[in-house]
Amino acid sequence: MDITIYFEEAAQVSVAFIIGAVIGLEREFRSKPAGFRTMILICVGSCLYTILSREASNASSDRIASNIVTGIGFIGAGVIFKEGITVNGLTTAALIWITAALGMAIGYHNYPLAIVVSIMVVIVLFILEPVQRYINRLHRVKDYKIRTIELGKDFKKELEIFFNSHDLTYRCMKTIKDNNDAVYLYRISSPDRNYDSVNQFLLIHKEVKSFEV
């Protein structure tokens, strides 16, 4: 076999290593579950599987590619977790998915597409992050999960009187009894996007056991 083929394949996995490292650096910087080494391994592994699928004479390349996507789905699901009423890890899971796709593109010699998509990913991670923070500051709606002591008695009435007196739009999404506690899920909208008064009210209220935003 021509030895230049080995050099070409080594170049492919090297490019996958570099792309995975660039994406992983951003995740590592933000202390995310899938960081520097994980992204490198995902990109290089996807590239390697793609190369092997092209060389296998008795295997369907599209079948191996679909199995790569399935396997990556399990890894992505592992970094998504629910914390209170919020879900974290979706961006990292999406990055795992697209990093594997970049590795596959390199394995199929589609360097222009891999480079263009890598640039787009870098733009999303590094440049659009301040834009997202600005949009979040404009977000008027917040979800509150409030736990009260011994079913709260008059808490719900007092809370809604407080909302009305401060011109806050609200909706009680759900009311749950957990042992001897009551749990209220409220969606609150503030015209001035200032929720400090709500937080302060909940902090000092004697019947509030805990709350999450």
What is the per-residue DSSP string for 159-187? HHHHHHHTT-EEEEEEEEEETTEEEEEEE
Rg of the chain, C-alpha, whole Å: 25
Task: Give tens-digit pLDDT for 60-117.
Answer: 666 777 788 888 888 888 777 766 556 778 888 899 999 999 999 999 999 999 999 9
Q: Is the pTM of the predicted complex or chain greater than 0.85?
A: no
131 φ/ψ angles, rounded to the nearest 5 degrees: -65, -40
What is the predicted pLDDT for the residue at 2? 66
Task: Name the DSSP letter for residue 58.
Answer: T
The answer to whether the beta carbons of residues 29 and 39 sit under 8 Å apart is: no
CA distances from 195 to 54, 57, 145, 164 (A): 57, 63, 14, 14
Quick check: 14 pLDDT over 90?
Answer: yes
pLDDT confidence band for 58 (50 / 70 / 90): low
For the chain, which domains are there? Answer: 4-137 (no CATH), 141-212 (3.30.70.60)
CA–CA distance, 114 with 102 (Å, rounded to integer): 6
What is the predicted pLDDT for the residue at 79? 79
Task: Tell me what the mean pLDDT of segment 36-48 comes to.
Answer: 92
Task: Tell me what the mean pLDDT of segment 198-211 comes to.
Answer: 89
The answer to whether the beta carbons of residues 106 and 16 sit under 8 Å apart is: yes
Q: Is 27 exposed, middle or buried (0-12, 13-18, 19+ CB in 10 A)?
A: buried
Task: Tell me what the mean pLDDT of segment 161-167 comes to.
Answer: 88
Quick check: 138 pLDDT over 80?
Answer: no
CA–CA distance, 166 with 31 (Å, rounded to integer): 38
Task: Give tens-digit pLDDT for 29-40.
Answer: 877 777 889 999
Task: Tell me what the mean pLDDT of segment 179-191 comes to.
Answer: 86
